[in-house]
Structure 1
Amino acid sequence: MMRTRPRRLAQLLVLLTGTALAVAACGSDFADSDSGGGADDDDQNDAGQTDGAAQAEDDESSGDDGSSLTLMGFSSGPAEDEALNAIIDAYNEQSTNTARFNPVPEYDTALQAALAGGSPPDVIYVDSNRLPDLVEAGALAPADGRVRNEDDFYPSLREAFTYDGTFWCPPKDFSTLALVYNVDMFDDAGLEPPTDWEELATAAEALTDGDRTGLALVPEYPRWGSFMFQAGGAVTDDEVTEMTIDSDANREAFEFLRDLYAQGYAATPTELDAGWAGEAFGQGRAAMTIEGNWIVGALNNDFPDVNWAVTELPAGPAGPGTFAFTVCYAVPAASENPDAAWNLVDYLVSDEALLQFTEQFPVMPGRESLAGAWTEAHPDLGAFLTGAEYARPFQFVPGFAGVVDTLDDGIQGIAAGNREIDEVIQQVDESGRAALGG
């Protein structure tokens, strides 16, 4: 088992604060397992004891040993909590272990406290963008063959949870970005869903009318980055060892988006008096938006009368591009009972559990073999799943968060029309080089 390095752990866990995730520390308690055999005669009794001891040894080695386990994570809402608790109830019915889900507020702050305190929960959520920090801190135990059929996970998701050549944890589920559009507005304008940048610009212009904009788009890297990919650009190389922000491809993506905002064909949620892009879209203040699977529940619950559909993000000069957003089920290195913890994780990412969870909640299972079953259950959301074929994980390296902050600040300025593209690129490039030591 990997041993934690307390000083290094305490230093690096500081990087977790200030993010969008939330947690509260919680402990685990464990029960000893009793196993034995009995019979009426000595021969049968000896055989029974032998079989019982063998069964106990098998149970212990598999992690099904009567432990009490806690899965700590964050909650995206009652619907997801209910769906996940149903999976855990099913696990408890077929296992001698007993697990419970503990969704907590202020996840990153509490996770920091739990890991630094040395008594973490048995299983935790880890965002793909935070994985490198936690690995460098010695806070996680590697999956190391603990999960069945690792090769069945989408390559982009395996990559998201692989660091230094080691696969650390399996994806809980994932979402991609896609274009969500108002069907009635498109029909009234005689438009088809856009498939490339030119068609997107044309649709955005045609659908902008009075208080309604064509496209509601948050000016931030998790949205603009998809356009960078579509243009053939990126912030860094694939290994995150060299900065590649200073490229004609990235300039082309930034110029395309800048022009949409400048012409009034795209707007931020704030400009549309909305808390987020999904709200602006649901209120009819925008005909299109770019969001992930999480928009589905919000639209169905808050705007049930809106006739909407989803399609892949329009392709750019270099082809399609989108992000994969995902968290994994990870086991802390300081786990008191790693075998039982991995037993729970293995069940949570089994075919049966993933299908049950994602059929109830419109995120997508991370296993490629389940694509057909998920699409059958969600026939109108297939564009999200298609994006998995070319999606890129949202992940850099420890110490890079400040570079992304610099990029986001620059993107906001470009969208507002008060920052020059070359100025932003130069500033991000310099910040990134310093972070990468080059």
Structure 2
Amino acid sequence: MPRSTTTHPTRLAALLTAAAMFAAACGGSNFDDNEGNDGAATGAENGDAPTDDADGVSLTLMGFSSGTAEDDALNAIIESYSEQSSNTARFNPVPEYDTALQAALAGGSPPDVIYVDSNRLPDLVEAGALAPADGQVENEEDFYESLRGAFTYDGTFWCPPKDFSTLALVYNVDMLDEAGVEPPTDWAELAEAAEALTDGDRAGLVLGAEYPRWGAFMFQAGGSVTDDEFTEMTIDSDENREAFNFLAQLHADGYATTATELDAGWPGEAFGQERAAMTIEGNWIVGALQNDFPDVNWAVAELPVGPAGPGTFVFTVCYAVPAASENQEAAWDLVNYLVSQEALLEFTEQFPVMPGRESLAGDWTDAHPDLGAFLAGADYARPFQFIPGFAGVLDTLNDGIQGIAAGNREADEVLQQVGEAGSPVLGQ
């Protein structure tokens, strides 16, 4: 049964504050959603009630800016909606989105549609801030199961995905060719490739020392942090131990490293600077490589499989309707237009993000023939998501992962410590 969505304003503010703190703690997982925001509207403007038009209502979609090109594409789709609907709509990208969203929701007069990241969904549901999407979204079954799961909480589907990204192996084609190495398909081949490609100051693999990267290896080994229902800590397991020890050995041997050790801001930058031959990143690396490192010859492959099979993360944002929206029927009408096949294909054909509808897989692959490995991961991807109050546990996990990568922590110690930190949060 879903939890009650009726919440006292004071509790709402407290939970939203916790959500903002959780987002800050897990910022590395969000691939810089808010970076480059150029919107100017904040504060009360975000919560302005919609204004009645002669034939409909005026709707506001509040989100963050993903860059001028993507904003222009979204605005074109919204303009098309306004032209064919009795309603009108506008996109309001705001800087410091988490803070602006917290203020808008706590103020009681939120925008009609908002962006919600999958890892923030449980906090907002617990705060009673969202209207459920069950029965509101057309052709809901067409969305990838992994994406429906990312936006389902307590058995209720809350919002459809705007688009999504997964992790894949990005490699330097020329470096692999020179070393006579094929793109690795399993852990053994990954270790062999990383060793063969390590040359002086160049690392074979550059990888973020954080759960949103190491967690993929946990999945590939058959492990996880908690059970699917978030009722039990499962991190202190042989499967997770195998995954962490595998990565620890790559670091200890000098075949894997972090961006910091290569004097880079993030792994994509180190890869673009050709300080590393391989990295594990999401679709967002495509624009960075095209814009900042156009001369690098790169390609993408699915992540190498582990002892239990394939595994990757799905990172996604949905279009959600606040529970306090004064125009919910019109808001869901806008949402359905934005996640229609036509609108999703129009938007995602222009950018490396992927449409959440399985029926569009072929069209998107035709438009991005070299990026199919990202889309293939949708079939087995897992969302980055935990229950409210879990941020501190993730801090403990990320600190431990960084220590393992640096060679000053042991996997056994880290897994035990994280398990002990998480049990009280889950009520164990």
Of 103, 116, 128 in structure 1, the residue corresponding to residue 118 of structure 2 is 128
Q: Aligned partner of 1:76: which letter?
A: S
Structure 2 residue 146 is matched with structure 1 residue 153: no
The answer on 1:258 being equivalent to 2:209 is no
Question: Residue 84 in 1 paired to residue 74 in 2?
Answer: yes
Determine whether 1:229 maps to 2:219. Answer: yes
Corresponding residue for residue 14 of structure 1? 17
SS in 2 for 1:437: coil
Match of 1:401 among 383, 391, 400: 391
Counterpart among 5, 8, 20 of residue 5 in structure 1: 8
| Distance in 2 (alpha carbons) for counterparts of 1:217 and 1:424 | 19
Conserved 8 A contact 2:49-2:110: no
Match of 1:429 in 2: 419
Change (3 A) 1:102 1:252: same
Match of 1:332 among 318, 322, 333: 322
Does the CA contact (< 8 Å) of 2:144 and 2:378 recur in 1? yes
After TM superposition, the structure 1 = structure 2 runs for residues 282-321 of structure 1, keeping only pairs within 5 Å, are: 282-321=272-311
Confirm or deny: 8 A CA contact 1:27 1:70 kept in the other structure: no
1:140 aligns to 2:121 (yes or no) = no
The residue aligned with 2:362 is 372
Distance 1:207 1:32 in 2: 62
- Aligned-residue identity in percent: 79
Instruction: Name the SS of the counterpart of 2:228 in structure 1.
Output: coil
| Partner deviation per Cα, 1:101-127 (whole Å, 9 max, x = no partner) | 111111111111111111111111101
Matches within 5 A, 1:198-277: 198-277=188-267
1:3 touches 1:334 (CA, 8 Å); kept in 2? no
Alignment of 1:49-128 (within 5 A): 66-128=56-118
Post-superposition offset of 1:210: 1.1
1:32 and 2:52 are equivalent in the alignment: yes
Cα deviation per residue 1:250-277 (whole Å; 9 max; x = unaligned)?
0000001001111111111011111111
Distance in 2 between residues matched to 1:4 and 1:87, nearest whole Å: 34
1:2 CA displacement: 5.6
- CA distance in structure 2 between the aligned counterparts of 1:429 and 1:437, rounded to whole angstroms: 12
Deviation of 1:30 after TM superposition, in Å, equals 3.2
Choose from 389, 409, 413 the match for 2:379.
389
Conserved 8 A contact 2:404-2:411? yes
**2:71 aligned partner, one-letter code:** D
Structure 2 distance, partners of 1:276, 1:33, is 47
Answer yes or no: is the 8 Å Cα contact 2:49–2:111 preserved in 1: no
Q: What TM-score do you get using the length of structure 2 for normalisation?
A: 0.93
What CA distance in whole angstroms lies between the structure 1 residues aligned with 2:67 and 2:8? 35
- How far did 1:399 drift? 1.0
Report the 3-state secondary structure (helix = DSSP H, G, I; strand = E; otherwise coil) of the residue aligned with 1:432.
Answer: helix
Q: Displacement of 1:32 after TM fit?
A: 3.2
Moved more, 375-384 or 70-79: 70-79
Please tell me the residue identity of whatever aligns with 1:344: L
Let me know the Cα RMSD of the aligned residues. Answer: 1.4
1:52 aligns to what?
none
SS of corresponding position for 2:304: coil
> In the alignment, which residue of structure 1 is the partner of 2:30?
none
CA shift, 1:3, in A, is 4.6
Question: Residue deviations 1:278-312, cap 9 Å, x none?
Answer: 11001100100000000011111111111100000
1:186 aligns with 2:176: yes
Question: Who wins on radius of gyration, i.e. which is larger?
Answer: 1
Partner letter of residue 50 of structure 2?
F
Q: Distance in 1 between matches of 2:386 and 2:85?
A: 38
Length, aligned pairs only: 408
- Judge conservation of contact 2:138–2:336 (CA < 8 Å) in 1: yes
3-state SS, counterpart of residue 47 of structure 2 = coil
CA distance in 2 between partners of 1:4 and 1:163 (Å): 17
- The secondary structure found in structure 1 opposite 2:114 is strand
Query: Displacement, 1:95?
Result: 1.5
CA apart distance, 1:33:
4.9
Q: Distance in 1 between matches of 2:161 and 2:129?
A: 18
**Structure 2 counterpart of 1:105, one-letter code:** P
Q: CA deviation at 1:67?
A: 1.2
Q: Please state how far the C-alpha of 1:15 moved relative to its aligned partner.
A: 1.1
Q: How far, CA to CA, are the matches of 1:376 and 1:104 in structure 2?
A: 33
Q: Is the alpha carbon distance of 1:336 and 1:3 closer, same or farther for their aligned partners in structure 2, counting shifts above 3 Å? A: farther
Q: For 2:188 and 2:78, how far apart are their aligned partners in 1?
A: 47
- 1:71 to 1:11, Cα distance in 2 relative to 1, 3 A: same
SS in structure 1 opposite 2:321?
Answer: strand
Q: TM-score with structure 1 length normalisation? A: 0.91
Residue 195 of structure 2 is aligned to residue 175 of structure 1: no
Contact 1:79 1:361 in 2 (8 A): no
- SS class of match (1:177): strand
Instruction: Give 1:192 shift.
Output: 0.8
CA–CA distance in structure 2, aligned partners of residues 32 and 427 of structure 1: 55
Counterpart contact for 1:4–1:334, Cα < 8 Å: no
SS in 1 for 2:349: helix
Equivalents in 1 of 2:87, 2:6: separation in Å? 25
